[in-house]
Structure 1
Amino acid sequence: MASIQIVAPGGMADASARLSACRSCGSADLVMVLDLGRQPIANALVDPADKDGEQPLFPLELMVCRACSLCQVSETIPPGTLFGGDYPYFSSFIPALLDHSRAHAEALIAERKLGPADLVVEVASNDGYLLQAFRGSGARVLGIDPAKGPARDAIARRVPTLNAFFNADLARELTAHGHHASVMLANNVLAHVESINDFVEGFSILLAHDGIAEFEFPYVRELIDRCAFDTIYHEHVFYYSLRALEPIFERHGLHMNDALPLDIHGGSLRLRVSRQPGRSLRLARLMAEERTRGLDTLAAFEDFGTRVAAVRDGLRAMLHDIVAAGGTIAAYGAAAKGATLLNYADLPRGTIRYVVDRNTHKVGKLMPGVMLPIRAVDALADDPVTHLLILPWNFADEIVQQQQAFADGGGTFLVAIPFPQALPA
């Protein structure tokens, strides 16, 4: 692959800008549908040496554009602040995600008959967890990711990776060096990009004439149905319906052709786009269902805030009763969604004793805002508790299976989403 000189993204001052117009269509007709208060950046884990320092807090509000139905957060935080520093999310620590990604790669290799003449590009490639599954096909791969740590790990795995933000300018530079992608992938990044039109334009530029691009992202239908408000944080700028996505792709000469509902991450969609139209029956049915359910209107959000408050109040009551009865509580998974949940819940100090996580990059840090210590999973044996609150509830089955010794010792697993409850033993 030809040499391309990319300057790695650096840190930026903590600053934000209040949304005054829709990031997609430019309309100023925005309505707030949920206010989660002022919150820290969910993935900005705190070094214990800095625990007495001031943490920047930003409004965390959900807005809906009346003109194009796009659901989005109210505050724009510079991407260098969110992703350019010590970003702690490493996909390879999640076995279920690895299995999901391997199956996706194998299906694409078979369907597209990928080989040495093909280039597979993944945007937001993290630590190379997905692209490494394409090695057996012989296809060339290229990852693009702005986070230094994950990009460094990907390169160590021999996955060629540019440590950069993807946009139209980078796509033009790649095509100028003769690169055209047969397949482009972007999993769990479409919702993260504030400059969405520039981002999608980059796919239009880099995609080969007969190529396909596939995007996986949390589906706003699942956000509403599961009351999954903990998936709202500043990194997740957008919460997409198909109706809101269609004009974004059309603006840049791309056609939505298929959409597959997925269970991963608590309810996602895998959307396929290309330069040629060819809408599947499955996509047509999903878009018809959105219209029937009113996902292109404010009506879908009418009682959302009330349901969110009920989850918070129910969690407070459940944990209070456990502590009052002499129980002790830890949390599992220092996930971003856990930061949103715990900061919004505003629990009394000491309710949760610590958080455990398998990701060695997180162990030893503190959860932002609530400042709970993050410990290795061994802490559950060394400093036992009676109850374990699973913060990444979307991986609850896997976590329960991993921690069977906790249950065998009489421990009880808890989740807060879609409502606070103890899981069956």
Structure 2
Amino acid sequence: MTRCRLCGSTALESVVDLGATPPCESFLAAEHLDAPEPAYPLHLRVCTDCWLAQIPPLITPEETFSEYAYFSSYSSSWVEHARVFVEDAAARLGLGEDSFVVEVASNDGYLLRHVLDRGVRCLGVEPSVNVGAAAREAGVPTLTAFLSPETGAAVRAEHGPADLVVANNVYAHIPDVIGFTQGLRALVADDGWVSIEVQHLLTLIEENQYDTIYHEHFQYYTVASAIRALASGGLALVDVELLPTHGGSLRLWARPEEAAGEPGPRVADVLAREKAAGLQELSGYTEFSARVAKVRRDLLRFLVDAAERGETVVGYGAPGKGNTLLNHCGIRPDLLPYTVDRNPYKHGRYTPGTRIPILPPDRIAADRPDYVLVLPWNLRAELTEQLAYVHEWGGRLVFPIPELSIVEVER
């Protein structure tokens, strides 16, 4: 990487180098276990001119999203998060039967189903063929396409301008951040709203959430860098909310520049927090790599010690973030014989790079392991409840981030 993808600067400084890993959602079928598996450098840098943190665009969105393994509806808490958002957005913006809502990267319709339930016209724009098909089967109108300025203009010409454009957990996933932002502007009405949810770099740094660095995530935002990114497409930030999702996220409320007005007080508040954390100077990034190394050492020490004692450790979940953690730590089936996942698409497949089998969740109750390593740690409350049955045989849960935590579970 020689230039910042947002401002074009060559002033890029290393934040953390995680080595080389396969794309985190490229789960392997059994017949591919003896085939070569490509791996790409995973090196986070920050631009000291616009402060956008980023990795090199070594894979394309087409490689990742043409067929995708992640279905949002398998997380109960995420579906509920979407329902509450739709309810609040409808009240805030006065959405009704005459309104039009577009969601970009709409996945399997987990959010737009709640829009439909309110009688509001909507459309999903989802690049993954298999996931978009699942949305249409559920009755959610969905266009299979990547968002670009041309796609946005075509949707607007056919369906009219959107009163609300939702882009949740996609703003980090596109290497052409300027073109994507221009696509958002093409979709939204001149007096409309854009709502974006994206992980907050502040919590990523403060809470050691380095496993959310993977090849699908090309950039990592602060409010300061998001303001610059939005402006590249003619949008202005007017409000921000701090959310607990994904370990700490931003909900950015933006409007076309001509309709935006002055930003609300929460924007200044978060900008001040980011500045106090040193995220607009190199001092805020220099210790991160050392803390990442400690997470790795602590997890490996626990797994090796458990194996030496003859205790069993299995995994729960096969999220993309888990594959960054497993590959960076070098965890293989000798230390983690399998993981389980609620998504049947992943059953019978293997984690990329580390080749750990992915099984149905009922395998845990059948095997009664001593420990369950929870890879989607961001769903800690939901999964602690789901895994309460582990208490029946004295099993314990292990959370690797922000620091190693071994917990008893109770019914």
Question: What range is the shorter-chain TM-score in?
Answer: over 0.9
What is aligned with 2:338?
Answer: 354
**Residue of structure 1 in register with 2:267 after alignment:** 283
Separation (CA, whole Å) in 1 of partners of 2:332 and 2:23 = 21
Is 1:71 paired with 2:60?
no
Whichever residue aligns with residue 77 of structure 1, its letter is: I
Q: Which moved more, 1:404-413 or 1:181-190?
A: 404-413
Residue 125 of structure 1 is aligned with which of 91, 106, 110?
106
Question: Could you tell me which of 3, 24, 28 is aligned with 1:42?
Answer: 24
Provide the residue aligned with 1:59 in structure 2: 41
Superposition map of 1:373-384 within 5 A: 373-384=357-368
SS in 2 for 1:141: strand
Residue 175 of structure 1, CA deviation: 2.3
Partner of 1:418: 402
Distance 1:63 1:270, change over 3 A: same
Of 373, 378, 386, the match for 1:394: 378
- Residue type of the partner of 2:215? H
8 Å Cα contact 2:395-2:408 kept in structure 1: no
Matches within 5 A, 1:8-407: 19-85=1-67, 87-275=68-256, 276-347=260-331, 349-407=333-391
Change (3 A) 1:164 1:178: closer
Q: Structure 2 counterpart of 1:188, which letter?
A: N
* Distance in 2 (alpha carbons) for counterparts of 1:316 and 1:106: 43
Contact 1:32 1:62 in 2 (8 A): yes
* Residue aligned with 2:272, SS: helix
CA deviation after TM superposition for structure 1 residue 349, in Å: 4.6
Q: Give how far 1:167 is off.
A: 1.0
- Structure 2 residue matching 1:185: 3-state secondary structure: strand
Structure 1 residue 403: deviation in Å? Answer: 1.5
Unaligned 5+ runs, structure 1: 1-18
Shift of 1:338: 0.6
Q: Secondary structure at the match of 1:177?
A: helix
Gap change, CA 1:21 and 1:270, over 3 Å in 2: same
RMSD of the TM alignment (CA)? 1.1
Identity %: 36
The Cα offsets for residues 375-405 of structure 1, whole Å up to 9 and x where unpaired, read as: 0001112233111000000012211211211
Q: State the distance in 2 between where 1:308 and 1:178 align.
A: 47
Which amino acid counterpart does residue 270 of structure 2 have in structure 1?
L
- Greater mean deviation of Cα atoms: 221-230 or 315-324: 315-324
- Offset at 1:111? 2.0
Q: Deviations over 1:182-237 (max 9, x none)?
A: 00000000010100000001111221121100000000001011100000000011
Q: More deviation in 332-341 or 279-288?
A: 279-288
The Cα of 1:178 is off from its aligned counterpart by: 4.8
Please give the alpha-carbon distance, in whole angstroms, between the structure 1 residues aligned to 2:168 and 2:57: 23
CA distance in 2, matches of 1:215, 1:177: 23
Contact 2:156 2:162 in 1 (8 A): no
> Take 2:383 and 2:187, find their aligned partners in 1: how far apart are those partners?
39
Question: Residues 351-372 of structure 1: CA distance to partner in whole angstroms, max 9, x if unpaired?
Answer: 1110001111111110000000
Q: Calculate the TM-score normalised by the size of structure 1.
A: 0.94
Deviation, 1:292, is 2.2
Question: Offset at 1:243?
Answer: 0.9
Residues 248-297 of structure 1 show CA distances to partners (whole Å, capped at 9, x for unaligned) of: 22232211011100111111010100022231111111112212222112
Contact map agreement 2:40 2:58 (CA 8 A) in 1:
no
Counterpart-to-counterpart distance in 2, 1:178 and 1:134: 16
C-alpha contact 2:247 2:378 (8 A) present in aligned 1: yes
Q: Structure 2 unaligned runs (5+)?
A: none
Q: Which amino acid aligns with 1:128?
A: G
> Following TM superposition, by how much is the alpha carbon of 1:74 offset from its aligned partner in structure 2, in angstroms?
2.5
Structure 2 length-normalised TM: 0.97
Cα contact 2:368–2:395 (8 A) shared by 1: no
Q: Residues of 2 paired with 1:113 and 1:241: CA distance? A: 29
Distance 1:154 1:347 in 2: 35
The whole-number CA distance in structure 2 between the counterparts of 1:360 and 1:160 is 24
- Which stretch of structure 1 is more off in the superposition, 233-242 or 395-404? 395-404
* Pairs aligned (count): 406
